[in-house]
Structure formats: C-alpha cells, structure tokens
Structure 1
C-alpha cells in the first residue's frame, strides 16, 4: 500500500506521523467466525517526504490509516483519514479429503475439507476426481481441461460444484447425480481414484484458488463404511447447513438389511444402558446428570463413563478418555494423526512450523469430533439470555446440570460442560465468563460440584470490551442468590493473582474454601510470546488444588479458547509422567465432542505444542526451600550417561534457548546500532523500553534497555547496559520518562583495564544531560556499596525528583563473589529503600552489558521473594523466564551457581521453621 499526500498550506510540519491498524472478522475452515485484531503501528517520516509505502499487509483486510502533520510545538493537529481494503488472495492451504469407505458396492463416502475465508470469501468449490495415478499436482489442473473430459472417457473430471457455505461435509462419490452442472459419474470397479477439492475466490480481475492435497488412493474395493446414515458433522460449524445425500431407488432393496441392523442396534443400546447404570451406581458417589446424545441419524446412544482410577494402576487396560475415543469412535483425522513420541516432539513441531506453519494450519483445520450434538437446553427462551455468546452453547449430553430451584424454569441451566482430562472423566468444567444474571448460578455450580479451584484465563476487560463480569466481592461478603461469598485473602504475583474465598449456601451450616487463580499475563490478542509464565501458573494450581476436590472449573470469556488451552496443556503434562507419547490432536478432538470450539484458533493450537515441549524440556525444577541443600548436592554430581554435572546440564538447557532475529527490530536499525555496547546483547522488540521520540531525530525512541517482571509486579525492573558516552543523555531521559527513582550499578567504570561503563553522573557540580540537570546532593560510603543521591530537574518546566544510585563495588573483576551474604544484604537494602519512600516506578539495574550481574541481581530478588511467600525455590524457571524478556540474563554458569549458593545462604541465615 502506497500512501501519498500534499504538503499542508497553512502549516510548516517538522515531520509526519502515520498510524494504521485493522480489525478483521472471517469464517475459518470450520465455519467458525474468527476475530483477528492487529497491532496499531506508528511510523514517523521527515517533513520533506510526501509518500510512503507500507508493506507486509494482510490480504482482504480493511486498514484504517491516519496521516498527521506535526508542527514544531508538537501540538495536536487532526489527521487525514482513509480506509483501504487490501486485495483478496488465494485461500490458505486446506487438508486433504478423506474416505469413510464404500457404500452399496457402487459409491464411496468421502469427507470434504473446506477453506478458511481469511484471504477472501469463497465463491465456490470444485470436487475433482483423478482416475489412476495423477500426472501432475492438484494446482496444475485447469477447469477447462477438467470440464472437457467426455462422460465415457477415463480422464480427470469434476464431480461437483458447490456454492459458498453449501459444501457438504460428507459426499457420496459416484451417485451419478448432477451437482452444480457437473455429473458425479459412476465409479468403475477395479479402478483406483484420487480426489482433491479446489476452493475459488472470485475477484473483479481473476479467479484465485487453492487446491487441497490429493486424497489417499480410493476404490470401490474399500471396506464398507460403518454408519452410512451418520455422516460426521463438524462440531465447530453450528449454523452451517447440513447436506443430506440424495436417496436413490436402489436403497429400497436394502430395507431388510436396515431393519436387521436397527434391531441389533436396539439390543446393543439396551445392553449398553444396563452396563452404564451398574457402573454409574457402583462408581459415582456424586451424581452427575448426563443426557443422551443424538447422532445425526437420530439414533440414541449412551456415553459410557469409565471410573477414574490411579493412573499407575491402569497399565493393563485403556482408561484414558482420549484412548477410549480412539478405540470406539476414531475419525479419519485421528487415524492420520496418531500420538507423538515425546522424543520426537521437538522435530515434529519443527516440521509443522515449516513454510509459515503450513502443516500446522492443515492439521488444525482437520480437527473434528465426527459427530453431531444437540444443544436444546441452550436454545430454550428462558436460557438464551444466560449465554454470553449466541454461538457458544452447552451440548446437552455433557452440560453441567444444576439442582433446579423451585418453580423457576431453566434454573438447572448454566453454560458449562464437563471435559475430560488425562485418564480422568469430567476432570474439568469449561464455562463462559459469568454474566451479571448468571453469577448466582456460577457459585451454585462451584458449591454443588464441590470444586476447590476456579481458573480465570481472562481480564475483566480487554481492548475496551467486557470479557467477563466481576463475580466476586472486592472486599468482605457479597450474596449472589442463595450463595454467600467472602473474600479472605488476595495474593498478587506479576503474572497471576490468587484470591481465596469462603463459600456458604443459605440454609447450610458448613463453609468451604475456594481459590480463584486469575492468569493476568495472557495478551489481549494472540497468545503469550513464551509459555514459561503460563507453566509456572499451572504448576502453582496443581500444587494447591486438593486431590479429592471436585472438577476444576476453567473459564475465559467464551470458555472455549484459552480454556481449551489450559485443559489440553495440563492433561498432556500429566500424560508424560506416565507415557512416552503426547496426543494433543486426539485430546482437542475429544474436547470438541464435549464443548464446541474448544481451542479456538490455530495460534492457540501452536501455543499448546510449544508449552508441552517447554514442559518436557524443562521438567519440574521447583524444590522446597527446606530441601535446597540436598537439591544442590544432587546438582553437583555427574548425571549418569551425560559426563557433566546436573548444574551444568541445567544451565545448558537455559543457554539452548534460541531467539529468531526478527525479535530484534529497533536494535538493528542503522541509526541505533552505535548505541549498543555489544552487538549480541540487544533488547527484544516486545519488551524494550521506549523513549519519547524527539522530532526530526530518527531512532530517538531507542535505548538498549528491557522491561523485566519481578515476583509481584509486572515491569518491576529495567535491565539495561552501562551507558556509553553517546547514550548518557538517553539514559537520563529513560530515568525521568519512566519514573525510575532507583538505579542499581553492578560494575566499576573500568575493570581489567577496559571501559565497562561511562560515568554518567556528575561528581561535584551539576551537569546537564539534554533536558535534564543532574545535581549531586550527597554520597554515603557503605561497607560494600556507595549510595549517591541526585536531584534531577527537567529544565523545560522546573520539576524536580530525587534519584538514588546504589553502586555495588565488591563484585570481583573476574568471577563471582565468594559469599552471597553481602550481595543479599545489598538486594535487601535496595528494595527496602524503594518501599520506604513509596516509589512506584521500576528499579533500573545495569552492569556493563546489562545481562550478567544484572540478571543475578534480578533473579535473586525474585527467588528471595518466592522463598518468603511460597517457601519454594525454582532458579531454573526464574532465569529461563528472565531470558524471555532480555537475552542472556545470568550470563555464565558461575553466576548461575552463585545464585544457588546465595539462596542457600539466605535460607540458612534464619530458622526456616519460624
């Protein structure tokens, strides 16, 4: 997109500001309406430029573009606005068609994929049949040559043309009927076929298309389909039309067979129901109403519930709900996506991510449970207002049924479904974020299900939209219908919050404790950049949730996307404790048979894989503070078969983290490169500290500094390099603009004869750094550090602040301190000063490169707080998390070992039992 504009007539701008953003909605390959927000981007161009080209835009997307002329005084000027829609493009890749088997010896039942409309609305689909072995790729066949094959010929042909949104999920290939002007020709015996589907986007200029891969080899000699009257329907496509295969006269000859099959089915159903009743009475102490599920043909079957047992006792027979589904209702997708060995998981993910995640796209779009389910209770008029989203409903067969309230229609309904975990039926309840009118129902569900944990995967508001209504008291006690909820404790961590409630029902004496875990680090759009904080959140829940509690209740906004992620990741982590495979595809398929849309986007599906891989690589490295000494002793021993110590192995895992170059954008711009002390230590674009740009100065918003989370607060620290002579002014701008009143310096100006940090502060008299005058006030020489106080004044308006610099001078020029005691005292003093003066801004920490000693300071700060609050230590995950925010944090194995020793000294310094 190329923008051009004219110079304003009554204004002499110093530069132009271009902002553009978009918000896109489209139907994906499963008929689900997806919402795809984009970052708002800002570009500044010089005043002598009146044209700018924006690249990397998404096809078929409406962008809102503003161009603003900025005058010399930076005052506001209204922008010129324009909305531009980018051109359509060929649809994204599709999955291959599949076969369910033969029918009547004359036809094949095939499953047809659909295409995502992300790049433009699909106009129509072609179903193409290739007899024998194809001579070229699907993309190379033209409609002209496919249409030219005579009826008696043996060449490639089109078996049907289907309008947008009328593409059947299953199709009778060879029924000799006409579809969209093309005859679905009879198939020949002893003839092999391959098929593919072509999705066409029509533009004003030309037709754009994408063809699916070829199906596997097909022939009439294939085994008969198991249930020809029950075509699998995509559970995600709620409102899409169901295409029923035409009934031919030949079917009437099979009437006797149909009657026989129905009779046998009834007998099997009766036997299944009897077994179910016996098992349910024997195993289930807490009754849970499970309704019948209807197949598309109207047959009624019963979902049998297996007793959840100790996983270690289940090696001789399948009891995992996903394994049972693979045995009893395996879809073609599940057949072609078996469980993945843990040893192959990393390579498997790498293959799926190749070519811009093409295989991930195909795999995700092929997921469907192969059944159709009813949601009659969600559609009752009295229940419709209880659904946050009209298209996110609760299937009847798996919905949570509340105890009805007297004379209140629909009082047994809540938009919530039981979901299976690893080797445990109904391990979770997936539900929507409560509405004002459903808060009472939500707490009734918590009470009736005897749940001890509620997991909240959303903020109350995101991108100015209400995602969930506050269903808990901010303080004291609130009554929600018959339920009384009292807030007793709040524990805030940088990435999550734990709230503890006491729950009581009217008319009951007993009270119960319930904890709510709210993950606050999930971004407003997309998925987290790295799974480490999420995995820490999950481990904390797992450690606290009582083993005898009822189902864990999970919700986000709709209760399907992030909720599905949580359930699958937690289940897979549990699985790898007992098996050497993971089955993400199978588990998502299983969940979609219990609640629609579970795992709502391809990005979420990819994030699940990344999170499970991270959990497999890292393992559980958290130890009790009491056991830290024994843990360190184990780490110092050589790992069998590795010839290195456990400590070295742990650090190697941390150092193995790879970051693609595209994560560093501003740092690599030509106008910024000279501001970096080391070219291999750069801030990630996503966490870099941005300065207020100076008009007319390219790169003036850049400094080599990163925001880093603390134990309690997000962005609690700024980790930065020791200023260079060229960046001292930027350093003081950062201190002022980001309200940082404490500086921690962990290097001398010179070490080993080399410049490590420019002296960026005045020693005797005040000195000006661009807008800011820095005046030394006092200096205290402490045993291990120097405390300097400065008065910093903004010369533009005269405002002043006190900034304190803690300069640690006892770090040796080589290696690490022999003892951690003095450094811990230093850390304690820094944080005590911040608390004493009630300052809210981040603590700025630097050494020379801003990663080694800086990483040690921040890591130990977090570790010490975790010991105080949780009584546990997890240095490995702490450092790994820091490295997702700034590369290279805790730079050497010596520094890593020092962190362990210092933490142990801290624990040993007091009686831990108190």
Structure 2
C-alpha cells in the first residue's frame, strides 16, 4: 500500500477507563495525557478509501511512573536520617514502591525500599555528607527519573556549660561558654540559639535558618541570634572561653542579634560547626550542607528579674530613715543618733540617685529597642484585610491619585544604592539589554559552571515569592550571545517552569532572541533542547521541552508559558486574561515545581516580570491570610532587582488587578472570572507532554508509537 491513500486509527485505553481514538496520516503518533505507571492496550488499524479498515494490530505497554515530589529531610542525626517526599503526580491509585539509594564519597552505595512516602536510613557515619536518591518503582520494575539531594549527618552532642547573666533591664544577657571539643575536627564557627519553647532537649532540624525577624513575625519560637567566628568576631578569649552579649543589636550575616523580650523566658543552646555553608542569596546557614554539633538547652532563664541588690539595700535604708521608732531605739544604745540620721539621709539620697540612674538606663534601653523594632516598618502602609481593600484603594485614588503617587514615589528609589559592580564591568556591558536594568551583586544569579563572573555573567536576579526566598528568577530576555548561558542557568537552578512575557519582536524591534528550537533539536553549550509540543491559544502559547545535559545524558522536562498580549509600552486592558494566565501558571507550579525557582523574563526583566511576580505573591497572601500588603510586596521586590514595578501606572495597575482578584470577577471585562473559569477550559488544548522522556525511556504520561 505504499502508493495507496490511507490513514491510521489508533485506539488506546486502560482497564479502569474508557478508550480513546486518534488518527494519523503518518506511521507514528504520540499519545498524550496518559496516567503514569499504568498498562495501556493500544490497537492500530489501517483505514483505506471509503473508510474500509484492516484487521487490528494490538499490543500492551506500561507508562513509566512519575518521580517523587518535594524530597524533604525531616531529621538528620549523628547516625540516621529521616526523609519524606510527596506522592508522584497522577499515581494516587497506582501500585508503586520507592527505591532509596544512598552513599558518601568514601563508601559504596546502598539501596533500601519503601512502600510509603518516608524512610529512616540507619547506621550512618556522623559528620558525613550523604547523597540520597529516590525513584518511583512501578509495575514490572519500571522506574521514574531520580530525585536527589545531599545532606550532612550531625556530629555528637556537646555538654552545655554555658553561663548566663542577665542585664538589669532584662533585654540583654551575657552568655559565656567553653570552646567545643575538637575530636571531630576544628570548630570554624558557633551559633547562639535562643528559644522560648519549653519542650525539647535540643534544637530540632530546620532551626539554623531561622532569624530574629522570623521570631518577631511569630513564625518560629526558636532562632539563631548571632554567629561567632572565633578568628574574626570573638568578643573575649580566656582559657578557651567564648563570650557574647545576646540582644546588643549587632548583625552577623543575615542574623540580627535583636533585644530580648523582658516578659518572656528563654533557653539557650550553642551549635558548633566543623563545616558551615551559607545560602548565597539569603545569607543564612544552609543546614543540609553544614556539619554541626549542638548542646542541649539551658534551664529556663526568666528575663523579668528580682529588684537588683542595690535596690534591695536601698529599701532597707529607706525603712530605717522613715521609721522613727526604730531610730529612737537606736538612740538609747548610742551616745548620739545624729550620725545615724545623717547616714540614713545620705543613704536615701544615694538610693534615689541610683534608682534614677537605673531608671534612665532602662528607659534608654527600651527606647533603643523600640527604635530598632520599628526600623523595618516605620512609615509604611500596613497590610489590609480583603474586605477593606477597595476602601483603601479609593483613598489612594482621591485627588487625582495624589496618595497613590506619593506612595509610589517613596518606593521608586528603594534598593538603588546597592552595588551592581559585576553587571557594569566592561566585559559584561554588551550582555545587558540596551536601557535595561542591572542586577544587584547580592541577588544576581551566579553560575558555578563558569569559573569567573565575566564568562558566566547573566542579567538575572533571585526574587523572593510568598513562600520561599528564591521562589523566582527575574531575567532579561536572552540576547544572541547569552542564549547558552541562559540555558545553563535553567539547568543549574533545576528550573522546569519558564514564564515569558514578551514577543520576540514588538513594534518592529527585537525584544528577545528565540532561544528554543522550532523543529530540529538545538544545542547550547552542554545543553541540548528538544521541542516536544507546542500549543498556541489566543493570548498565550505553551511549549514543552526535553532538556538534556550532553555531558552525562541526564534529561529533564521544562514547560514554557509564553504570554503574547502585553507589549512593553502598551496597556494591558484585558486584566482578566492576565489573571487567568497567572492562575494557570500558579496551578502548574504547585503541581510540578513547588521547590524549584520559576524563571520569569521580559525585555529588561523588570516591569512586566515584576507585576507577574507581585500578583503571584498577592494571590498566595490572600489565600493564606485574607489580607494583602502591596506596598511591602513592591518594596521587597525593589530590594532584589531595580524597577520591578517601574511606573506609577504599573503600581496603579497592580492595585486594579488586586481588586479584581478580591472581587472574584471583572464585571467590566468580557464577563470572565479567573477564579471560577473551569480548569478544563484552561487546559483542554494543552498537551500533557510535561513528563516526556528521552527516546530510550517510555514516558510516564506520554507514549510515542511508531507504526512502521
């Protein structure tokens, strides 16, 4: 039938579902939207003229399972680690198990199995870095792609010999402790840990990243108040003793040594590190990449103390001076009571002076603490409940938007004094968009693949979201000379969700290099990119890519959401369309990349990217607290990348979108409601190719069939 007109019908289904039929004019087809780890029966018939069909040819095949989600270390002790993970996508009712492989650089690897989503690995070596890999195992032993993380086991605990002395005001305390035993290696740093939690013998896992600000915001009862690096910041060294004043307002890395609350009781623990690693962005301790030993907590230390001894003595003297009967009895046993009276008067004066001095010191300390605590919020609008937002917005718009303009003006220059020295180096200037923004040194994305910041420079910044500090990467559109570095950034940061907010060509001006393949594979440095599917709707296109590291043949899946209805200098009148798009991306992120940064880019990686990230944060904040703080959201974005909301008009637009979200509908625009639009409408034309695998491995949700 080589020269005969024909087509093919492909019928497929599994035992628990209906069957579906697709047609093809070629001898191969890709079946989409399959369930992971499931047996499918596939039947193919040839269709000739007048619809005549051949005898069927059938076969069965299992899709591969999807990988575990959100690998989390619950506890890491001296000789064991407990970890858990999320249920694989689309496998709730599918038979499965998990293989957990672990080892360190100086040993073999071991594998254990689990039928649940958690496991405890025993008999480990203390203070050792282990790499742990988890795969889902489906029927017939088919395995998913691996998910890996590294973690250090803890060192043996230390005895707590800390001595604690409170100040009279109760908002500082001196902590003195002996240097730790060095049998497990030299101690390179100490952390002083404070807690108001009265249960538990020592700090739990996850505490080392908690700061004083987290404590003040009531997200934790335990925090690191300061870091001591013995060679650099040691306050005093006497016979191997170390001393620190808790509450003095100093700062080491991102840890603020904030004042204590005189109304609370605290306990103290000391952590000693033989290896300490800081998150390069937020500058807090990376617990999984640091080796620490802990002391147990001290006993409770109440910060409300008894009256100092001086006050107690003064009280006795005052009683003497006020009780004449007592003075008379003293006179009968002395030759004269004049000396006693004079002494009582002098004692009273000294007592009053001492009380006054102590009172002044206490007042000054309280004033300093109040000034410190108000530093981060002074003069800023507060969060507003959703039911009050429209009233607040109307006040901002009054008198020709006077208050809104003033509010934005106070935000315009936030963060702009921070250095961008790497971006401004002569070798890097050509890698920035013309008239674009420059990433700050502290928050720019650094690539470990390149040995210097010139070859590996990219105009991109880590941006905090509502949930995590590195939830987003905001980047400028790639230029021809930066496409390879762009894909390197995607690989190194394990990005599997990309949001593009501009066209490649706008108003006859090039906005972005087309950095993805349209048909044939493209290779950018060590990264090969294959287009799996492309689906274009009215306002956006969704593309799925298979991304391969040619050095080790590892493959990943990346989905790009390309929004095309928003030009750089044009107004986006259809706010509801943007909100639908954001909600679509948000749903995908929650399912497929909850622990990986989402890459958001536009021409400069500023205005449109800033609005997208801000709205994502606002949606999450409203869902979580039923309140919203636009000022704080934009303020926080500006601290990490300049011009993230570039103009007063964009700030107004952000408020209007927030009001649309709160109302749950946009009565002025096309009768759309981003909250109630059916998910099947948003997804009905988007192929589920997000889990496609390399040709050597059958996909968990997509199956390619050759009809030769």
TM-score, structure 2 as length reference: 0.48
